[in-house]
Amino acid sequence: MSSQDILLEVKNLHTGFNIDGRVHHAVKDVSFSVKPKEVVCIVGESGCGKSVMSLSVMNLLPKHNGKIDKGEILFEGRDLAPLSEKEMNAIRGKDISMIFQEPMTALNPVLTIGYQLDEVLINHTTISKEEIRRKSVSLLKQVGISRADQIVNEYPHQLSGGMRQRVMIAIAIACQPKLLIADEPTTALDVTVQAQILELIGKIQEEVGMAVLLITHDLGVVAEMADRVVVMYAGQVVEETDVDRLFYEPKHPYTKALLHSIPKMDEKRDVLNTIEGIVPSLKNMPEKGCRFADRCPAAMDVCREVDPLLGETDKGHAVRCFLYEESFPQNSDKRAEVQ
């Protein structure tokens, strides 16, 4: 694959937090890539490291204790991890933008919607003030806000949750970014509003021609939006494949269990499948072996002794599990990279 086919490539990313003098890795050896105009979903439960991963890409980790320890984040072939704040600012909002879960906390409550929209354009373009305001209004119209001329002069608290998320999207797409990172963009919204926002993200993605990295815990959203899916568990990628194979030929026991534990509308079951136990917390990660082994119905002795690797079982389908021989270190061509 030539480098032009890949927009974002995350390679062996390790992001650690310093807690009481010890470094705990919230993201451990995560690798995946996003192609231009592709929608990649990162799915996992709370505490699986999906948000930390996205903050690492944006270089927005909390300065006092969060740090990328190892690995590369290649955006159009350039490593973002060592960039300075100033260099990152030139990329954030222009080439890569982000929308967050809670639109109320992501918008500044004391500035008008118009000001917050203009800000991005002022920072990244050289067009005149009048033109900027005109552009802001047209952006609001593009995200489906009908009274755009008035809304530019209003404040975030005057808008509903769905409208705020639309404003966030307008800000994010202002400079026609190549990559949009959406971290649980619809979790705080009601289902009928969620449907509106998902449709909007899909529409904008086609209009702008950007790639979307969508982070979610909702498998329904994944099925709706994704081209490819990365399943994370306890800071690691456990499975990566296209959306159809994820739902119809899941390989990792965690993915299988996750798919079976959600109640579905179109079927009647008395008992839901469950995954025993809980996601281990950052401080209680198993020292060695597979991080899912304690909850895994198919766990073997080797699972608790050796770290499985993410190995490609079929083309475009990678899994981190000893049920598949590609995960054994001696069989994986990835071994050299990891060491």
| Residue with Cβ nearer other proteins (34 or 275) | 275
Q: How far is CA 287 from CA 1, 158, 307, in A?
A: 35, 49, 10
Contact status, residue 198 vs residue 230, Cβ threshold 8 Å: no
Q: How many residues belong to the site for other proteins (CB under 8 A)?
A: 49
| One residue of 105, 150, 158, 273 binding other proteins per CB under 8 A | 273
User: Residue 48: what are its φ and ψ, rounded to 5°?
Assistant: -90, -5
Is 268 a residue that touches other proteins (CB under 8 A)?
yes
Distance CA 198, CA 276 (A): 32
Four-CA torsion 227, 94, 49, 14, nearest 10 degrees = 110
Is 259 a residue that touches other proteins (CB under 8 A)?
yes
Is 152 a residue that touches other proteins (CB under 8 A)?
no
| One residue of 7, 179, 180, 257 binding other proteins per CB under 8 A | 257
| One residue of 21, 126, 130, 271 binding other proteins per CB under 8 A | 271
**Closest approach of Cβ 165 to other proteins, in Å?**
11
Buried b / exposed e over 75-101, threshold 16 CB at 10 Å, is bbeeebbebeeeeeeebbbbbbbbbbb
Contact status, residue 221 vs residue 101, Cβ threshold 8 Å: no
Is 264 a residue that touches other proteins (CB under 8 A)?
yes
116 contacts: CB under 8 Å, gap ≥ 6:
107, 108, 167, 171
Distance CA 193, CA 199 (A): 10
DSSP conformational letter for 92: B
List binders of other proteins among 34-53 (CB under 8 A).
45-46
| Residue with Cβ nearer other proteins (110 or 271) | 271
List binders of other proteins among 211-250 (CB under 8 A).
217-224, 226, 243-244, 246-248
**Closest approach of Cβ 266 to other proteins, in Å?**
7
Residue pointed to by tokens 């079927």: 267
| Residue with Cβ nearer other proteins (122 or 278) | 278
**Closest approach of Cβ 240 to other proteins, in Å?**
15
- Binding window for other proteins (CB under 8 A); candidates: 9-17, 175-183, 188-196, 324-332: 188-196
**Closest approach of Cβ 161 to other proteins, in Å?**
8
Reported as type and span, the H/E element at residue 229 is strand 228-233
* Binding positions for other proteins, rule: CB under 8 A: 45-46, 160-163, 190-196, 198-199, 217-224, 226, 243-244, 246-248, 257-259, 261-266, 268-276, 278-279
